[in-house]
Amino acid sequence: MSAEEITVYTAAKIHTMNEGAPTATALAERDGRILEVGHLDQMQPWLEANPHRIDDRFADKIFMPGFIDPHLHPTLAAVLLPSEFITAMEWKLPWGTSEPVRGQKAYLSRLREIHHGMEDPNAPLLSWGYHRIWHGRLDRAMLDEFAPDRPVLVWQRSFHEIYLNSAALRWLDVDEEEAGRHHQIDIEQGRFYEMGKFTLYEKINPFLLQDERFRGGLERLKQVVRLGGHTTIGDMGIGMYDLEKEWQHLTDVLDQDDVPFRVAMVPAVRLGGTAEAEMDRLEGMRAMARGRLGFNDHIKMFADGGFFAELMQVLPPGFIDGHEGEWMTSPEQLTELCRAAWHRGMKIHIHCTGDLGVELALDILEQLQFEKPRFDHRFTLEHFGLANPEQCRRIAVLGAQVSANPYYVHELGEAYWTHSIGMERASQMVRLGSLGRHNVPFALHSDLTMAPALPLNNAWVAVNRIGESGAIIGPDERVSVAQAMRAITIDAAYIIGMENDVGSLRAGKKADITVLGQDPFEVDPMALKDIPVEGVIFEGKVF
């Protein structure tokens, strides 16, 4: 095919997510860019003037703009996907299904089973998915009981904490006396959480980032992303482990012609040193961009702790059991870092999961707007687990936006009602309906592995708000199908600053298409998650 040849793809219906021309039946592209979206008879001027071919293989399918997950961690996924999944919910993955495990006895039994089934008696056992509410108490002594000699490392469901047995502490050469002085390490329990967990990375990275293991994880990530029908994902926090080694693996595995998606790299701010020096480092990372791996002026920061870990910072009345949340970055540090980024015109994304975390982020934004007013600043609240109605209005007034994880509602809505924060707040977590009523731009993300990387599943949760029991949770915070589909296409593109290239189907944009077997605007909303993804067209090439 010559560079000048036009390809016209036909479909039963094309949802463009372009309000000026919302539906079509044909799309013409050349060299990976869209020439026109409309109907075949309208495209004759293009076709009469240029060599072309008509591709009717999807004539009975539905086209959507390529799905976008603006907050997904390829490197985190590469670390966890080779691990043993023991979770309270079923996980359907391209290479198999992880069946749900609930209860302390069943959880420990599954860990023992994995331990005894490993051929190498000295190989470390890494498991992911533990949650106190579903699996009961866990500590170092329980792991020592069945595995006194094998290193056992249990990542909590949130990834914000990890439990180690004594053999793992010896394997990693952890100085227990020194570790015990860290305010986010409980050495007696073998529990390392939030910034305490980061103290382990230097010691554990040689294992996690081994070429065969890490690249195998990235190969699995490719399967997961393709399963969901994505054509763009956002790496919201590149550089969590070892940037140089991560980057080499990412370029070798993901920047290849057989990969039907691109990655928007959003680097994570590191603590230590001056704020200005850190901004210099982040700006310098933009020069690393290549092929499918791109950078822009968006950066990532952290406020409070993990939502699945129940370490988010919450406003009164707090948690039912009286425990306190945690800060990942102190309010003073976060303010200083945000100020340095703001004055350089950077687009700031802040991980904030509790309503006190949201309050801190909004206080910082209000102060920065007073110091140096900015338009189109794209200040983004990431995750948005808990928020109150007044905060939703304040988000709109300050011009902020939200990238939300709706899956919290499905897995945690009922569990947090009975065990964590009570009915009122648990039923209204992830207030997308309120955001919509205030015209706040919002996207849906998976934060893989915090949720399955399935955009239609996220849309299903946002539209229906179905809890794990099947009950509807917080019906007034539901959104329409149209809002949900925007949140995985054009609004997701807007959140990561890529709306001029992707997110909708119109002339001039990249020819990225997700091909569906059913129309999400026509099926019963309860069936959204079951719509088959038939494939994708990435920059004009069919996968």
17-43 burial, b for 16+ CB within 10 Å, e for fewer? bbeeeeebbbbbbbeeebbbbbeeeeb
Tell which residue, 22, 15, 8, 6, has the closest CA to residue 61: 15
- Residue 1, pLDDT > 50, answer no
| Dist CA 175 CA 173 (whole Å) | 6
Burial 113-137 (b: 16+ CB within 10 A, else e): ebbeeeeeeeebbbbbbbbebbbbe
Torsion sign over Cα 65, 70, 73, 75? positive
Residue 471 pLDDT exceeds 50: yes
pTM (two decimals): 0.95
Residues 275 and 236 in one domain: yes
Has residue 194 been placed in a domain? yes
Whether 306 maps to a domain, the answer reads yes
Final residue belonging to a domain, choices 173, 208, 243: 208
Number of domains in the chain: 2
ω into 449 cis (within 30 of 0): yes
Give the separation between CA 393 and CA 438, rounded to whole angstroms: 6
Answer yes or no: do 473 and 373 share one domain: yes
pLDDT tens column, 308-355: 999 999 999 999 999 999 999 999 999 999 999 999 999 999 999 999
Residue 336 burial (CB count, 10 A): 17
Task: Confirm whether 413 is domain-assigned.
Answer: yes
Q: Residue 287 falls within a domain, yes or no?
A: yes
Average pLDDT over residues 84-88: 95
Q: What is the mean pLDDT of residues 91-113?
A: 95
**CATH code (residue 275):** 3.20.20.140
Judgement on whether residues 199 and 248 belong to the same structural domain of the protein: no
- Domain end call among 150, 176, 208: 208
Say yes or no: 258 and 323 in one domain: yes
Domain boundary among 208, 241, 257: 208
Helix ranges restricted to H, 428-513: 432-437, 455-464, 481-487, 490-495
Under a CB-based contact definition with an 8 Å cutoff, are residues 161 and 306 in contact? yes
CATH code, domain carrying 111: 3.10.310.70
**What is the tens place of the pLDDT at every residue in 395-442?**
999 999 999 999 999 999 999 999 999 999 999 999 999 999 999 999
Residue 245 burial (CB count, 10 A): 17
pLDDT at 405: 98
The model's confidence at residue 3, banded by pLDDT at 50, 70 and 90, is: low
Tens of pLDDT, residues 231-283? 999 999 998 788 888 899 999 999 999 999 999 999 999 998 999 999 999 99
pLDDT in tens, 487-525: 999 999 999 999 999 999 999 999 999 999 999 999 999
Residue 532 lies in a domain: no
Same domain (yes/no): 140, 238: no
Q: How far apart are CA 92 and CA 283, in angstroms?
A: 38
One-letter amino acid of 97: T
Q: What share of the chain is helix, strand, coil (3-state, %, to 5)?
A: 35, 25, 40
Give yes or no: residues 196 and 264 share one domain.
Answer: no
Give yes or no: residues 242 and 119 share one domain. no
Quick: pLDDT tens for 143-157.
999 999 999 999 999
Q: For residue 473, give its domain range.
A: 68-73+228-502
Mean pLDDT (the chain) is 96
Q: Is a pLDDT exceeding 70 seen at residue 2?
A: no
Asked whether residue 391 is assigned to any structural domain, the reply reads: yes
Sequence letter at residue 522: E
Q: How many CB atoms lie within 10 A of CB 322?
A: 7
First to last CA, the chain: 17
Position 538 in a domain: no
Q: How do residues 173-214 score in pLDDT, each as one tens digit? A: 999 999 999 999 999 999 999 999 989 988 998 999 899 999
Q: Which residues lie closer than 8 Å to 181 by C-beta, 6 or more apart?
A: none
- Examine the pLDDT at 62 and tell me if it is beyond 80: yes
Question: Do the Cβ atoms of 301 and 364 come closer than 8 Å?
Answer: no
Q: Please indicate, yes or no, whether residues 311 and 385 belong to a single structural domain of this protein.
A: yes
Does 122 share its domain with 244?
no
Domain co-membership, 352 together with 461:
yes
Domain co-membership, 81 together with 119 = yes
Cis peptide upstream of residue 148 (ω within 30 degrees of 0): no
Going by their DSSP bridges, the two strands 6-15 and 293-295 should be labelled as unpaired
**Residue 493 has what pLDDT?**
98
In a domain, 45, yes or no: no
Are 110 and 159 members of one domain?
yes
Backbone angles phi, psi at 528, to 5 degrees: -55, -45
Could you report the per-residue pLDDT of 363-383, keeping only the tens digit for each? Answer: 999 999 999 999 999 999 999
